[in-house]
Amino acid sequence: MTQQTPKSGTSGVIRVGILGCGNVGSALVGLINSNRDIIDGRSGVKLEIVRVAVRETTKDRGNEILPNVLTTDTVGLVNDPNVDVVVELIGGIEPARTLILSALKLGKPVITGNKELLASAGAELFEAAEAAGVDLLFEASVAGGIPLIRPLRESLAGERIKRVIGIVNGTTNFILTSMTEDATSFADALAEAQRLGFAEADPTADVEGFDAAAKAAIIASIAFGAKVVASDVYREGITQVTASDISAARDLGYVIKLLAVAEAVGEGENSSLAARVHPVMVPANHPLASVRGSFNAVFVQGDAIGDLMLYGRGAGGNPTAVAVLGDLIDAAKNLHSGARGATIGKLIDKPIVPIDDVRSQYYLTLDVADQPGVLAAIAGVFGKHMVSIQSMQQKGEASEAHLIFVTHLAWEADMMATISEVKDLAVVTRVGSFVRVIGEEA
């Protein structure tokens, strides 16, 4: 049944094998079928889907995939001599890792959108691709349909990147946007996100920042050519963000967002990296502040290029499939012409600084007894730890007051020491919220 399949290289037909046919896979098949005219016209290659590996071959998939293309044999698909390019969309670490390594060893370019795998075994995969002299492309692994990996690797190939900060998880951005615009609680906003299909029944991976941390690791790896895995990324989720934090942020001219941050610390040979995911108060006029709902955006700061932001749909079958297809066409053209695309090569080892050694501004709320000398006592603790206060607001009535502080830039370790000591003051009833702040320096 594969006898009539055209050979690679003749008439520009590239034969594609797809591992996995869920949301993204079926959208990809749909796009390849419906956009043949565009793909042929722009690239000069014809994509033919010759194998699609699925769990159940009997499931109805409309008219998009011929039944004889379906298989449950993933290893067979990779090894099939009629498959020129492999698209991996099954996700997770194994068997995806082994399948990708096998394909690369066979000289077959691989397209993947597998963030989990890249955030744990990226360095191994990049080296395998380099050794085999084969394309490994993964635009879809971060921020779905947004072109990010290609701009970082190619458009900014000659640029010294200082920092990348991104809204890379649509679920949490949807929740925070609801909390901001509709003044709902975290619990209500999460329930609404689940009802609309933006959050899963078990929302842990999203709301605790695991998904964003994997993407932060990939971004840091590409932006700085360094080995960064998900577990290197400092991580806090959004479950502690309260409606009153959101409202206090608004009063102060900020919006709260969950950000993935990857930044260079220091310069030259001895430079290190910081990679982290946590809620951040972003100035209301910052481009990231207006990224609403389930949209994603990545803000890049470079030495020469200044500020750059890439905004769009960070998830969903169709947008993600567009990213996969862009990579697939690239790999197919390279295969057809005997060329290779941009390579990552060997990721270098760079020190990753602990969160204690990061500098930021901070928002901190304290409930205190409303009596003379309280502010002096608290300010004394801040000063002792070299944390300078930028603004303080006092709210509340009767015997208790609510203090809202925003600090100037300070070391995280100093801020933590401040909080720890302030907590023990007799006049402090409760340490409320603590959120990092992006100021004009960032």
375 binds its own copies (CB under 8 A): no
By beta-carbon proximity to its own copies, the closer residue of 255 and 381 is 255
C-alpha dist (Å) from residue 415 to 252, 381, 429 = 20, 10, 19
CB of 208 to its own copies, least distance (A): 27
**What number of residues does the chain have?**
442
As a whole number of angstroms, the distance between CA 389 and CA 238 comes to 25
Contacting residue, 302, 351, 432, 439, with its own copies by CB under 8 A = 302
**Minimum CB distance to its own copies, residue 303 (Å):** 8
Burial bucket for residue 231 (CB in 10 Å: 0-12, 13-18, 19+) = exposed
* Residue number, 227 or 402, with CB nearest to its own copies: 227
The phi, psi pair for 435, rounded to 5°, reads: -135, 135
Q: Toward its own copies, which CB reaches closer, 291 or 403?
A: 291
Stretch that binds its own copies, among 201-209, 233-241, 340-348, 374-382 (CB under 8 A): 340-348
**Beta-carbon count within 10 A of 182 CB:** 10
d(CA 233, CA 119): 10
Query: What CA–CA distance (Å, rounded) separates 391 from 57?
Result: 63
- Whichever of 40 and 356 has its CB closer to its own copies, that residue is 40
**Residue span binding its own copies (CB under 8 A) among the ranges 80-88, 89-97, 313-321, 363-371:** 313-321
Among 151, 283, 351, 439, contact with its own copies (rule: CB under 8 A): 151
Task: Name the segment binding its own copies (CB under 8 A); options: 12-20, 77-85, 323-331, 392-400.
Answer: 323-331
16 or 96: CB nearest its own copies: 16
With a CB cutoff of 8 Å and minimum separation 6, the contacts of 333 are 43, 44, 45, 339
Give the C-alpha distances (Å, rounded to integers) separating 182 from 196, 258, 279, 288.
16, 18, 19, 19
Our CB check for its own copies shows the closer of 21 and 205 to be 21
Indicate whether 338 belongs to the interface with its own copies (CB under 8 A): yes
Q: What is the DSSP string of 156-217?
A: TTT--EEEEEEE--HHHHHHHHHHHHH---HHHHHHHHHHTTSS-SS-HHHHTSHHHHHHHH
Q: Does 309 bind its own copies (CB under 8 A)?
A: yes
Element (H, E) at 301: strand 295-302
Q: How do 85-88 and 13-19 pair as beta strands? A: parallel
Give catalytic status of residue 350 as yes or no.
no
Query: Among 15, 227, 313, 385, which residue interacts with its own copies (rule: CB under 8 A)?
Result: 313
**Residue type for position 60:** D
Distance CA 52, CA 18 (A): 5
Check: CB of residue 328 under 8 Å from CB of residue 47: yes
- Residue 109 found at the interface with its own copies (CB under 8 A): no
Residues in 205-234 at the binding interface with its own copies, rule: CB under 8 A: 225
Instruction: Rank residues 284 and 386 by Cβ distance to its own copies and give the closer one.
Output: 284
Closest separation between CB of residue 251 and its own copies, Å?
20
- Closest CA relative to residue 145, chosen from 170, 175, 163: 170
Kindly tell me which residue out of 1, 304, 376, 426 binds its own copies, with binding defined by CB under 8 A: 304
Question: With binding defined as CB under 8 A, does residue 17 bind its own copies?
Answer: no
Q: Are 86 and 19 in contact (CB under 8 A)?
A: yes
Considering only residues 341-370, where is the footprint of its own copies by CB under 8 A? 342-343, 345
For its own copies, which residue of 330, 366, 405, 422 counts as binding (CB under 8 A)?
330
What residues between 275 and 294 interact with its own copies by CB under 8 A? Answer: 285, 287, 289-292
Q: Which of 153, 257, 276, 402 binds its own copies (CB under 8 A)?
A: 153
**How many residues form the binding site for its own copies (CB under 8 A)?**
64
Binding site for its own copies (CB under 8 A): 27, 31-32, 35, 38-39, 41-44, 139, 145-147, 150-151, 153-160, 225, 285, 287, 289-292, 295, 297, 302, 304-313, 316, 318-319, 321-323, 325-326, 328-330, 333-334, 337-340, 342-343, 345
Catalytic annotation, residues: 215
